[in-house]
């Protein structure tokens, strides 16, 4: 089955070439779709080099910054694979774990797979309050979705392309994570979790999500559960 790897990018000039290299080194038939969400650093120049180097990489661009959710929708619309993998452009998540993530789908058990940072994989020890925030948002999502996820906010979400035919995604920014979770749950798709490693980065290293995004996620959970 062909894999479409969707990589939303915003100001990741220091890591974008390396993450493309790591994704390319995964031994799977795949296309890589990079969506540049109007980066203002050196990312566009790096992407031009990448586009010339790899035949299976498609570069899409936004004419203004619209957010991660909007970048993902642009990538989903261009995807030609049977299975979608979401990959952040930083180096926090390891593409060598794709085969673990794909396992429950390929053997027929799942439609959607979440890679959980909290199921025992190795991880860099960092922010306590980020951990608390993640666990709280996951608990809230579980309450309203009747799932028992351990990591709703994980980047690694892998799913059959047909899932996109049955849900309409609207979030432009980090609200994508709770929106996707709520809508997958309401449609009754089979969801699995697998443990992954996690190499988190500091704000000095480029981390972007802040406490305000957590508040927006709470609103998104409630909105997409009851109103959308």
Please identify every stretch of the chain with a pLDDT value under 50, giving residue numbers as ranges. Answer: none
Locate 155 and state its tokens. 């980047």
d(CA 209, CA 174): 8
pTM for the complete prediction? 0.90
* Coil/strand/helix, residue 30: strand
Q: Report which secondary-structure segment, H or E, holds 116.
A: strand 112-116
Q: How confident is the model at residue 227, as a pLDDT?
A: 82
Q: How confident is the model at residue 199, as a pLDDT?
A: 82
Q: How confident is the model at residue 134, as a pLDDT?
A: 82
Full set of structural domains in the chain with CATH: 1-91 (3.90.550.10), 94-154+162-228 (no CATH)
Q: How confident is the model at residue 11, as a pLDDT?
A: 94
d(CA 58, CA 80): 11
Full strand arrangement of the beta sheet holding 3-9:
57-61, 30-36, 3-9, 83-86, 157-160, 112-116, 191-195
Locate 86 and state its tokens. 């979401």
pLDDT in tens, 37-69: 999 999 999 999 999 999 999 999 999 999 999
d(CA 135, CA 125): 16
Q: Which of 198, 5, 163 is nearest to 86 (CA)?
A: 5
d(CA 207, CA 12): 10
Q: How confident is the model at residue 176, as a pLDDT?
A: 93
* Coil/strand/helix, residue 210: coil
Q: How confident is the model at residue 165, as a pLDDT?
A: 94
Q: How confident is the model at residue 101, as a pLDDT?
A: 98
CA-derived radius of gyration, the chain: 16
CB 144 within 8 Å of CB 225: yes
Q: How confident is the model at residue 122, as a pLDDT?
A: 67
Q: Which of 26, 210, 200, 16 is nearest to 123 (CA)?
A: 200
d(CA 168, CA 184): 10
């Amino acid at each position: 089955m062909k894999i479409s790897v969707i990589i939303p990018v915003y100001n990741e000039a220091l890591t974008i070439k390396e993450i493309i290299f790591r994704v390319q080194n995964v031994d799977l038939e795949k296309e890589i779709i990079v969506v540049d969400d109007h980066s203002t650093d050196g990312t566009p120049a790096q992407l031009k080099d990448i586009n010339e180097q790899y035949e299976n990489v498609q570069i899409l661009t936004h004419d203004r910054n619209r957010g991660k959710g909007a970048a993902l929708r642009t990538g989903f619309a261009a995807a030609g694979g049977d299975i979608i993998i979401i990959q952040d452009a930083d180096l926090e998540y390891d593409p060598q774990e794709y085969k673990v993530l794909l396992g429950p789908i390929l053997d027929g058990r799942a439609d959607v797979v979440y890679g959980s940072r909290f199921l025992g994989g190795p991880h860099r020890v960092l922010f306590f309050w980020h951990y608390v925030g993640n666990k709280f948002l996951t608990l809230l999502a579980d309450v309203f979705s009747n799932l028992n996820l351990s990591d709703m906010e994980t980047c690694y979400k892998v799913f059959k392309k047909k899932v996109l035919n049955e849900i309409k995604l609207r979030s432009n920014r980090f609200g994508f994570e709770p929106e996707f979770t709520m809508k997958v749950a309401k449609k009754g798709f089979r969801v699995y979790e697998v443990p992954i490693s996690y190499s988190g980065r500091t704000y000095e290293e480029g981390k972007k999500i802040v406490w305000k995004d957590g508040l927006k996620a709470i609103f998104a959970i409630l909105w997409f559960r009851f109103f959308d």
